Structure 1
Amino acid sequence: MKNNNGIMAKMSASDAWQALLDKYDIKNEIENNGIFRITASQIKEVREPRLMAKWDSSEQLPSSLKKNKINILPDSRSSYILSDFILYERLPELTECIQNMPTVTLPELETIDVENITSEANAINVLQISGILEDFLELDHEEILYGTFDGRMSSGIFNFNVNTYRGISRTIEVNKAQMEIDGGFESEHNIIILEAKNVLHEDFHVRQLYYPFRLWDSKVNKPIRLIFSIYTNKIFRLMEYRFKDKNNYSSIELVRAKNYSLEDTTISIEELKRVYDSVEAHNIIKDDMTETDVPFIQADNFERIISLLENMYEADLNGEEIEELMQFTSRQTDYYYNAGKYLGIFEKYKDDDRVIKYRLTGLGRLVYSKNYKARQLLLVELILSHQIFRDLFIYVKEIGELPNKEIVKTAEIKYNVCSFNVADRRASTVISWLRWIFNLPNL
């Protein structure tokens, strides 16, 4: 595992886990015994445990674990349990409730820049001072919410059941594993535990709510309410979860979800049509793959393109940094970078050390600088500058529904935007982007 100088060789998390799977015959141990317990010192043989054991979204799971349906849970400060656990919960799509988004007014404070909420801590501050959290929790007007705990702490001692892919429930014992709580609050009637994110993922590791829940459930008498918050694209997405059985990790269920904005989010279908009409003929891009070096799009979640844009505004990023930030695989990084390049908002370059970095173009920085409404309409304009999207936009306007894959594939072949063998996969992305556009109107 080491080079000739005795220094640990640099390897990916997937390769490092494959080395451990092979060395300790982990897959067969799980098959025969249900679980495999691995220590931090064993993991450190190949890579630092902090880089090997914390995957907050299933998207970033090392392929060597993912292909074997192996997930990991901490069970103490220095050890982990491996098995075919089902550990992630899919987040509800933003489209489910975007049209019920109340606008929030903040007090005039010099130390809060609502145009640049760039960290999870800042987002939590805004949740508190704006009254968003109290509104979401539906607290009485007289009920005060106090911030009382946060940071790293020990999980305490408890056991729980968790489902597996093979349909068997496993019992896990936890003995003072380390965990971190983003925000803890107390009101007259409740304890609130908040997990905050400022990057959009497709799912989350339930551990982030379950371990804090079990710790504080053993300490307090008041009911505990669990909130998962995401701030991205100038929208606060709040989701409340609960566990039907406190001893069952897999009993998580969504109670409610609601979105909030600090800005005007009202967009009409007429405004979308005006954007379509405003795109001058000389700005229309044909996308012919024989005449462009920009790959046709293959990044389904448009909100994640915006989330990446927001984070790239703060600093240029290399591929590994994007993968860690967005919980992307290297292939997804390529897909989402190319989607931004297609829109003219992302570019890459080599720094002084010849490392490839990704950054926003001048147009990308302009998109970031806009308020919510202007930002969405500018992004629509960039999409509708491409002829294939102009045609399909009119199709949706006239027919009243999104096109199916066959209609999109016909358009792809017509405009020669991609080869026939990838047309089906790219059609899914086109439909997703159209869905994003037509989900914007809320008037």
Structure 2
Amino acid sequence: MEDKANKAWTDLIQEYQIDNAIKQHGEFIIQAKDIKKYREPRLMAKWDSSESLPTILKKSDINILPVSRSAYVLSNFKLYQPFPENDINTVKYVPPLPLESIDFNNLSTESNAINAMLITGILDDFLGTNNTVETFNGRMGTNDFSFTVNLTNGGKRQVDVQSAQLEIDGGFENDDSIIIMEAKNVPHPDFHIRQLYFPYRLWCERVRKPIRLVFSQYIDSIYHLYEYEFAKEDDYSSIHLIQQRNYSFQSSAISWDDIQRIIDSNSPEIDDNYDDTSIPFIQADLFTRLISLIEQLDKVPNMTSAEIASSMEFDIRQASYYSSAGEYLGVIERPLRGHSQLSLTGIKLMRLKLRERRLELIKLIVRHNIFHDLLSQIIDTGEFPSREAIIDRMRRYNVCKDATTLYRRASSVSGWLRWIVTLPDTTEEFE
């Protein structure tokens, strides 16, 4: 839970005067045993996306890296790489194989998603190679190595590592290269570069073949694959994107005509008036993250806010926001305080194929006046509404009172609309 980690880091920063140490010396080395006095180090030092960082670390502009199995370095490091805007609408349709031991429509774990990607040839297609096989994965230890990393003030700092621990989701080899993969089944706006860099440095010392680095996000039945490389082996911050592509085992082709038909045949029935509804207006910017939560609740029928936060790799506050967003759509219900489960509508939704499920989600969204109006406007004008236009429409429907909250929730409206307008895609056949 973020609150526990935040309190523990607040106490640690105060006890060891970490802020002052970083200002004076540029860094602070903390031992795992000192962290453990407050909380288990594994729960205090591994933040795979910047949004999962405890609030005190964000406010203090502090990030953390392992430098051994028993110590960490804290400084004003820039450690996260944002994913590019996924504006590539082309999705390659990959026919699933007639296998009984794997359900291509229900790849519930990261390892299942990797297996399916490998056996169907998706990874080979993405890399432009043949005969790629999995050869390693799991926890490993690095050798000793050093690197430079960018700081938030524009400078650089050297970090020296002595046998730190790492974990690799998938390691592969073919005639041309070694491939290291990090895989996630929940969406995030960025990732901790360490997840690729530490394995990269380890295997640079072990093999002669070139190393290729792949990050996979399997979200809403679609693989979003990204290939990265480091321009300089000893520069953590030299990471850059090489290519990105999308794949799916289900046809997801949705046209603007499909969306227009939904608009025409579904009159809005919910006006979101602040004074008349018990369900708060949405404050959940990433619609794909709501879909991931629905998928999680389909696997685990009832989850607490803490379990949702842990599974989705975000904090308790976001768990509440996204559960509320599911209530707003009518796919999640919370019969007990702090507990979430799928409603009957949510259960039926998850029994649909990808294309039909997405169309049903659009129907549920446009039941609300504000989305029906704004989506109709997008179709009529061909232009996406500005933040100010969204806020004006929210005021018209008396969505919320506070000006700051209004502005913040406009981001969620924009995020949900963007999810819809990027659905019309070009589906390519897989060869």
Q: Which residue of 2 aligns with 1:207?
A: 194
Which of 102, 105, 109 is the equivalent residue of 1:112?
A: 102
Shift in Å, 1:219? 0.8
The separation in 1 between residues aligned to 2:188 and 2:348, in whole angstroms, is 24
Alignment of 1:391 onto 2:376: no
List runs of 5+ in structure 2 lacking aligned partners.
427-431
Shift in Å, 1:301? 1.1
Q: Secondary structure of the residue that 1:320 maps to in structure 2?
A: helix
Q: Which residue of 2 aligns with 1:131?
A: 121
Q: Which residue of 2 aligns with 1:336?
A: 322
Shift in Å, 1:195? 0.7
Q: Which residue of 2 aligns with 1:4?
A: none
Q: Secondary structure of the residue that 2:392 maps to in structure 1?
A: helix
For each residue in 1:12-37, what CA deviation from the matched residue of structure 2 results, as whole angstroms up to 9, or x when unmatched? 00000111111111111111111111
Q: Which residue of 1 aligns with 2:417?
A: 434
Task: Judge conservation of contact 1:413–1:420 (CA < 8 Å) in 2.
Answer: no
The separation in 1 between residues aligned to 2:315 and 2:407, in whole angstroms, is 21
Q: Which residue of 1 aligns with 2:76?
A: 84
How many equivalent residue pairs?
423
Identity fraction in percent? 46
For each residue in 1:261-284, what CA deviation from the matched residue of structure 2 results, as whole angstroms up to 9, or x when unmatched? 1011111111111112222x4x61
Task: Judge conservation of contact 1:153–1:179 (CA < 8 Å) in 2.
Answer: yes
Q: Which residue of 1 aligns with 2:429?
A: none
Q: Which residue of 2 aligns with 1:364?
A: 346
Which of 244, 264, 287 is the equivalent residue of 2:231?
A: 244
Shift in Å, 1:325? 2.4
2:291 alignment partner AA: I
The separation in 1 between residues aligned to 2:211 and 2:149, in whole angstroms, is 20
Task: Judge conservation of contact 2:105–2:249 (CA < 8 Å) in 1.
Answer: no
List runs of 5+ in structure 1 lacking aligned partners.
1-9
Which of 410, 415, 421 is the equivalent residue of 2:392?
A: 410
Which of 247, 261, 265 is the equivalent residue of 1:274?
A: 261
Map 1:154-303 onto structure 2 (within 5 A): 154-279=141-266, 281=267, 284-303=269-288
The separation in 1 between residues aligned to 2:340 and 2:69, in whole angstroms, is 36
Alignment of 1:346 onto 2:338: no
Task: Judge conservation of contact 1:60–1:323 (CA < 8 Å) in 2.
Answer: no
User: Which moved further from structure 2: 84-93 or 246-255?
Assistant: 84-93
Q: Secondary structure of the residue that 2:373 maps to in structure 1?
A: helix
For each residue in 1:227-259, what CA deviation from the matched residue of structure 2 results, as whole angstroms up to 9, or x when unmatched? 000111000110000000110000000110000
For each residue in 1:33-63, what CA deviation from the matched residue of structure 2 results, as whole angstroms up to 9, or x when unmatched? 1111111100011111111111111111011
The separation in 2 between residues aligned to 1:93 and 1:307, in whole angstroms, is 18
Q: Which residue of 2 aligns with 1:317?
A: 303
The separation in 2 between residues aligned to 1:160 and 1:194, in whole angstroms, is 21
TM-score by length of 2: 0.95
Which of 28, 33, 45 is the equivalent residue of 1:53?
A: 45
For each residue in 1:155-189, what CA deviation from the matched residue of structure 2 results, as whole angstroms up to 9, or x when unmatched? 11111001111222111111111111111111111
Q: Secondary structure of the residue that 1:12 maps to in structure 2?
A: helix
TM superposition outliers: structure 1 runs of 4+ over 6 Å: none
Change in 2 beyond 3 A, CA 1:298/1:11? closer
Q: Secondary structure of the residue that 1:179 maps to in structure 2?
A: strand
2:27 alignment partner AA: I
User: Which moved further from structure 2: 412-421 or 181-190?
Assistant: 412-421
Alignment of 1:65 onto 2:57: yes
Greater relative contact order (Cα < 8 A, sep 6+): 2
Alignment of 1:30 onto 2:22: yes
2:392 alignment partner AA: T
Q: Secondary structure of the residue that 2:271 maps to in structure 1?
A: coil
Shift in Å, 1:93? 2.6
Q: Secondary structure of the residue that 2:335 maps to in structure 1?
A: strand
Task: Judge conservation of contact 1:149–1:185 (CA < 8 Å) in 2.
Answer: yes
User: Which moved further from structure 2: 150-159 or 429-438?
Assistant: 429-438
Task: Judge conservation of contact 1:106–1:129 (CA < 8 Å) in 2.
Answer: no
- Aligned-residue Cα RMSD (Å) equals 1.5
Q: Secondary structure of the residue that 1:403 maps to in structure 2?
A: coil
Shift in Å, 1:11? 6.8
Task: Judge conservation of contact 2:283–2:325 (CA < 8 Å) in 1.
Answer: yes
The separation in 1 between residues aligned to 2:249 and 2:3, in whole angstroms, is 43
Q: Which residue of 2 aligns with 1:21?
A: 13
The separation in 1 between residues aligned to 2:221 and 2:193, in whole angstroms, is 25
Task: Judge conservation of contact 1:237–1:257 (CA < 8 Å) in 2.
Answer: yes
Shift in Å, 1:309? 1.1
Q: Secondary structure of the residue that 1:442 maps to in structure 2?
A: coil
2:99 alignment partner AA: L
Change in 2 beyond 3 A, CA 1:36/1:420? closer
Q: Secondary structure of the residue that 1:225 maps to in structure 2?
A: strand
The separation in 1 between residues aligned to 2:144 and 2:138, in whole angstroms, is 18
1:314 alignment partner AA: K
Shift in Å, 1:379? 0.5
